[in-house]
Structure 1
Amino acid sequence: MNEAFAGLTGTLTGQGYDTVEFLHRVTEVCTALSGAAGAGLVVADRHGRLRDIAYSSDRVRRLEALQIAADEGPCLDCHRSGETVVEPDLDRARGRWPRFVPQAVALGFRSVRAVPLRLDGQTVGALNVFGDRPGTEPGEYGRDGRGGPDVVQPLADLAVLALLQRRYGREQTATEEISVALVDRTAVERAKGVLAEAGGLDMDTAFELLRSHARRDGTGLADMARAVVGGLLDPAVVLAG
């Protein structure tokens, strides 16, 4: 666990990190360390609407999108209240979230925990952790299930720091920084679609190929995505690995 946190904090103290890539890593580390089935990050855009920005798998992305479209669920409650929202057994929450719960269960999720992202005294989003077994709070325990340290809130705080860090020496507000990150996320999603169609791949595989190529090339994930979408980089080059 210490190595994972050290890697993330080391990225934050370095130069020129890619925000969208970093946030995806937060969701992956959260999933691995907490023993959860998946994790996702949502943030509020300039109009106050929640948008999914990072997730550990496309299955989580689909659930976050469904949750936002339904305008109900743990991440919305967490964002609105500014408090952690926990449901150890989603079957018991069908009355609370009648549209969200059937969709979550259909995707294989049975429990959820949402913790707030707080920035400049505001709740600007949530880190959502999903479990595949009812009766336990996802992320409450470490990977061994024996009461390890809570990793979810510290990782949510690191996600916030990723947005704060980019503002140093600049005049942009938190809302403007989030807007930039959402634009970058849109470019990544479009590039994933291009690669998935060109290679006949699922979205998770397309993302990993894009990510790996960006790392080998020393290019930011969002910049690499724009090159694919804009026709400056042949998808076949990325698909070749």
Structure 2
Amino acid sequence: MRDHTSELRLAEVLVETTDTLDDDFDPERYLSRVAGHCVELLDATAAGVIFDAVGKHSVAVGGHPQKLALDLLGAQHDGGPCVESLGSGKPVPPMRLAAAEPAARWPEFTALARRRGIGLTYAVPLRQRATLLGALNIFVPDTSQCLYSEGELGLAQVIADATAVGLHNHRAYTDSRVLATQLQGALTSRIRIEQAKGILAERWHTDMDEAFETLRRYARRERLVMDVVAIDVIKGSLDDTALRGGWSGSQ
């Protein structure tokens, strides 16, 4: 019988990665967990992510071990696989750091990576359709006997794609929660204003339009939000004389 252990583990990771509809969601903690899964599934020493936080500059998040990943990401300010993938939106295929090309292409990063025992690296973009959200960088040890190929790159891209879906879903979830809160606030405010209009119309034996105009004029004169004035009317804490001051309609 075929052993499905690795496939099952990958499926579990992908489900966890896309499950981001949580009010306590923290992007850095989430991406650190994703990086840890990459270390496990891709036989790596470390993994890290550079992502674009909304309203902020790019933020580096380390995997396991975290300090090593952060150091390797931080050494890429003059170039490196993660920064290159983030800039192009394309994968950077597995590259042996003992070769001449990476030393010429990313000298500072390559020198640090080799000193820290990294023999191979590659990176893939975090994409949600046409939107580029960041890049995932995998760091493989010098001692690795694995023959890294398009298979590992493809697996990393699958994890990165699931991560991008997770980030996108959480942003959409947050936006919908904010919109729902705004709409509920607007509805509640409108109900209070209607209630205040009814109170004034009944008290002054006038129509609703005149009551509303009085509320609006007072709010403008005092530079207050209509909802605040309505609350004071409902509470009975607003003096009629002050409220009707400057109103030339029927008394």
Q: TM-score, normalised by structure 1?
A: 0.58
| Residues 170/48 of structure 1: CA separation in 2 closer, same or farther (3 Å cut) | closer
Please provide the CA RMSD for this pair.
2.9
Q: Which residue of 2 aligns with 1:79?
A: 86
Q: Which residue of 1 aligns with 2:180?
A: none
Q: Which residue of 1 aligns with 2:159?
A: 155
- Note the alpha carbon deviations across 1:101-129, whole angstroms, 9 max, x for none: 11111111121110011135132211111
1:24 to 19, 29, 32: 32
Of structures 1 and 2, the larger Rg is shown by: 2
Contact kept? 1:31, 1:37, Cα under 8 Å: yes
- Supply the AA of the counterpart residue of 2:159: L
2:73 to 56, 61, 64: 64
> Is 2:119 the counterpart of 1:115?
no
Helix, strand or coil: the match of 1:166? helix
Higher relative contact order, chain-length normalized (CA < 8 Å, sep 6+): 1
Counterparts of 1:1-241 in structure 2, within 5 Å, are 1-11=6-16, 12-13=18-19, 16=22, 18=25, 19-45=27-53, 49-57=57-65, 58-67=67-76, 70-91=77-98, 92=100, 93-119=102-128, 121-133=130-142, 138=148, 140-141=150-151, 150-171=154-175
Partner Cα distance (2:93, 2:147) in 1: 7
Unaligned runs of 5+ in 2: 1-5, 177-251
More helix by share: 2
- Note the alpha carbon deviations across 1:127-146, whole angstroms, 9 max, x for none: 1111113897757556xxxx
Contact kept? 2:94, 2:149, Cα under 8 Å: no
Q: TM-score, normalised by structure 2?
A: 0.56
| Residues 32/85 of structure 1: CA separation in 2 closer, same or farther (3 Å cut) | same
Number of residue pairs aligned between Structure 1 and Structure 2: 164
- Supply the AA of the counterpart residue of 1:36: A
| Residues 27/13 of structure 1: CA separation in 2 closer, same or farther (3 Å cut) | closer
Helix, strand or coil: the match of 1:99? helix
| Residues 45/168 of structure 1: CA separation in 2 closer, same or farther (3 Å cut) | closer
Unaligned runs of 5+ in 1: 143-148, 173-241
